[in-house]
Amino acid sequence: MATQIVMDRTGDTRHNFDAKNADALLKAEERFRELTGAGFTAAVRTASGEAVVKRTLDPTADETLFFPRLVGG
Amino acid sequence: MFRQLLRNAKERLRLFLSERGRRARVLRDRLRRQPDRIDPSSRFVPGFRYGYGEREARGLELLKEWLSPEQFAQYDAKSYFEVTGCHSGKRYRINHGASMNIHELDGAGRPCVGWCFTPKGYLVAGDVMLAQKIALETDERGALAVANKFFVPTGRRNMLLHY
């Protein structure tokens, strides 16, 4: 089971999906496009624990994290 | 003699407060003119404060999951962790917090410059720190391009605040 974690003001919202299920994968891809289109950055962790930014959905990733556009504070 | 000293002190205090007030007004006006900053109205979203502690804890949990073992140990012990910028190789210290919490470190590991950037919208500290970590480790230039720089006092008195 893969998870898309979206940071928001509730803390985070998690969307679980089965990456082997074509419909679920399609929905996950759509969510990925919507979020990145809205300015979110998507990142996954490699096996070594390093964070890597993704421009397209990585179906092999266990967790994909989305955080909103950065602004000067 | 004493009265004269008191009068002088009062006058100095009055001038000091009036100068601070003027600076605060200038800063407030400047912030209002910058539309791409954190939306302050988001802090007044109805029900936002409800369950804040729970959200805060979840944010920290997520942060800890994504920290490297070294960063986790550092954060656990000192409430900050250090990251390496992917482009410059510089070290940054991310202190616990949601704004004005990033210090660039000099060669000796001392804070020399402050950087402030956060994800848009109001997020809990754990989420903010995680986004800052990923941004510096994967797109340092992009993060610093939107960030505001701030002065980090390096006097002896301030050293106590940072260590």
Give the list of residues 6+ apart from residue B29 with CB closer than 8 angstroms, or none: none
Residue B147 and residue A67: Cβ atoms within 8 Å?
A: no
Whether the CB of B146 is below 8 Å from some CB of chain A: the reply is yes
Using CB atoms, pick whichever of A43, A45, A73 lies closest to residue B148.
A73
Whether the CB of B117 is below 8 Å from some CB of chain A: the reply is yes
Using CB atoms, pick whichever of B38, B100, B130 lies closest to residue A71.
B38
* Least-confidence region, from A4-18, B127-141, B144-158: B144-158
What mean pLDDT is predicted for residues B114-127?
A: 95
Residue A65 and residue B130: Cβ atoms within 8 Å?
A: yes
CA R_g for chain A: 12
Are the beta carbons of A40 and A69 closer than 8 angstroms?
yes
Whether the CB of A53 is below 8 Å from some CB of chain B: the reply is yes
Percent of chain A at pLDDT above 70? 100
Nearest residue of A to residue B44, measured between CA atoms:
A9
Q: Where are the domains of chain A?
A: 2-67
Res B80 pLDDT > 90? yes
Average pLDDT of the residues of chain B: 84
More confident residue, B120 or B1: B120
Whether the CB of B78 is below 8 Å from some CB of chain A: the reply is no
The pLDDT value recorded for residue B158 is 47
Q: In a mutagenesis test of the A interface, which of B118, B139, B149 is the best target, namely the one with the most A β-carbons within 10 Å?
A: B118
The pLDDT value recorded for residue B41 is 47
Whether the CB of A37 is below 8 Å from some CB of chain B: the reply is no
Confidence of residue B8 (pLDDT cuts 50, 70, 90): confident
Give the sign of the dihedral formed by CA A52, CA A9, CA B132, CA B140.
positive
What mean pLDDT is predicted for residues A40-62?
A: 93
Confidence of residue B162 (pLDDT cuts 50, 70, 90): very low
Res B89 pLDDT > 70? yes
Residue B32: is it exposed, middle or buried by C-beta count within 10 angstroms (0-12/13-18/19+)? exposed
More confident residue, A49 or B113: B113
Res B31 pLDDT > 80? no
What mean pLDDT is predicted for residues B89-93?
A: 97
Percent of chain B at pLDDT above 70? 81
Question: For A2-67, CATH number?
Answer: 3.10.20
Confidence of residue B33 (pLDDT cuts 50, 70, 90): low
The pLDDT value recorded for residue A68 is 97
d(CA B141, CA B146): 9
Res B112 pLDDT > 50? yes
- For strands A2-8 and A63-67, give the pairing: parallel
Res B38 pLDDT > 50? no
- Residue contacts between A and B (CB atoms, under 8 Å): 101
The pLDDT value recorded for residue B18 is 79
What mean pLDDT is predicted for residues A47-62?
A: 92
The pLDDT value recorded for residue A69 is 96
